[in-house]
Amino acid sequence: MVGFKKFFDRILKPYVRRQDGTTAIEFSLLAIPYFLLTLGIIELSVMYASASLLEGATGSAARLIRTGQIQQATGQDPETVFRDAMCDYARVLINCNDVQLEVVQMDSFADYGTYAPQFDADGNLLSQGFDAGGSNDRVLIRVAYRYHMMTPFIGTLLAGPNSERLFMSTIVLQTEPYEFQGGA
């Protein structure tokens, strides 16, 4: 019995007490939820940054309509000028080819309620055209963008089976009383 105790103390006991692998095992159990949480935080951050960029780009481009620069742009398509101004602002996170927009002249601010956004069967904005109006006109500017989630699993959790989120930015403004040289 004494020989077994010496054998156990000298050879087997160090192996019985070892806990070198416990940290690795614990980390392997926690790694998947940790990485999913980290990816989710990054995905949400990029998603909200894209939404913020869309708002800022819409406001920046709307300034061109408010001041009459788009209406007075000669030899250029007003919608292209507006879209280029937006894309220059938000090119970092937003794919400009996926941006849908409509600009509608209204008779009064009370008409805003009659211009509810309409979508087709695929979820695309049905634009009512691009009419930036003239001097002292009321204008509705609506921009729609479908944000595509980067990670499929997180995208399914946050945005549904198609991993897309619809962002909309709407601005209603009255253009400044500029000297309009287009005839309106």
Which sequence spans correspond to the domains of the chain?
A: 2-174
Higher pLDDT, 157 or 20: 157
Tell me the HSE value of 123 on the side-chain side, using a 13 A CA sphere: 11
pLDDT of residue 184: 47
Higher pLDDT, 30 or 14: 30
pLDDT of residue 16: 61
Q: Which of 83, 115, 80, 79 is nearest to 99 (CA)?
A: 83
Mean pLDDT for all residues in the chain: 87
User: What crossing angle do the helices spanning 22-66 and 152-159 adopt, rounded to 10°?
Assistant: 60
φ and ψ at residue 44, rounded to 5 degrees:
-65, -40
Higher pLDDT, 62 or 1: 62
What type of residue sits at position 132?
A: A
pTM of the model: 0.78
φ and ψ at residue 130, rounded to 5 degrees:
-130, 100
Q: Contact 155/46 with Cβ under 8 angstroms?
A: no
Q: Contact 182/72 with Cβ under 8 angstroms?
A: yes
φ and ψ at residue 155, rounded to 5 degrees:
-60, -40
> Each residue of 111-129: pLDDT tens digit?
888 889 999 988 889 999 9
What type of residue sits at position 50?
A: S
